[in-house]
Amino acid sequence: AEAAERSDDLPAAAALYARELADQPRRLATVLWDLQTRALDGGRAAEAATILAGLEELFHDHPDLELRGDGAVVARWDVVNTLAWLKATAAEADAASVADARRLAGEAVVLAGADRSKRAPALDTLAAAAAAAGAWEEALQRSDEAIDLADEPTLRAEFVTRRDRYVRRERWIGP
């Protein structure tokens, strides 16, 4: 696993770590989260999505799993919403990926509950997934809900920018 990681084959490293650390879910989750972050930071969204799919399975099997470090907490919501976003905004998303993005985004909204700081981004992700499916009215509705819930001006501005695309019946591409 470490050799694959050193050679920058992050999906292979993730698969090998999954076997090596199968009996250590918290440690495995930390390693997978770090690998997907590295992939995203390197502009490799498809690789990050592959790694996140494995991490989503791990969180599904261990629903109370949380990662803490550097003042941040990573929980199932973070994994599900990030994976949904990557699938919904991929340049060449096929119908199966878009359907999966919609399912995951819906789950992220449920996991967010009444937490506005999570619900607004989850609704934005659901809007992106609806737009990827060509469900423009749903995309606009979910986008409006996200905008209404967004407390942070920068986040609200991002949501408005995406909503403007949906009005023109254009999906959002890229992270």
| pLDDT tens, the chain, 175 aa long | 999 999 999 999 999 999 999 999 999 999 999 999 999 999 999 999 999 999 999 999 998 888 876 656 788 999 999 999 999 999 988 999 999 999 999 999 999 999 999 999 999 999 999 999 999 999 999 999 999 999 999 999 999 999 999 999 999 998 7
- Among the listed residues 95, 170, 75, the one whose alpha carbon sits nearest the alpha carbon of residue 128: 170
The alpha helices in the chain, defined as continuous H runs, are 2-6, 10-20, 25-41, 45-61, 76-89, 95-112, 116-132, 136-149, 153-167
pTM above 0.85, yes or no: yes
User: Which residues have CB under 8 Å from 116's CB, separation 6+?
Assistant: 149, 151
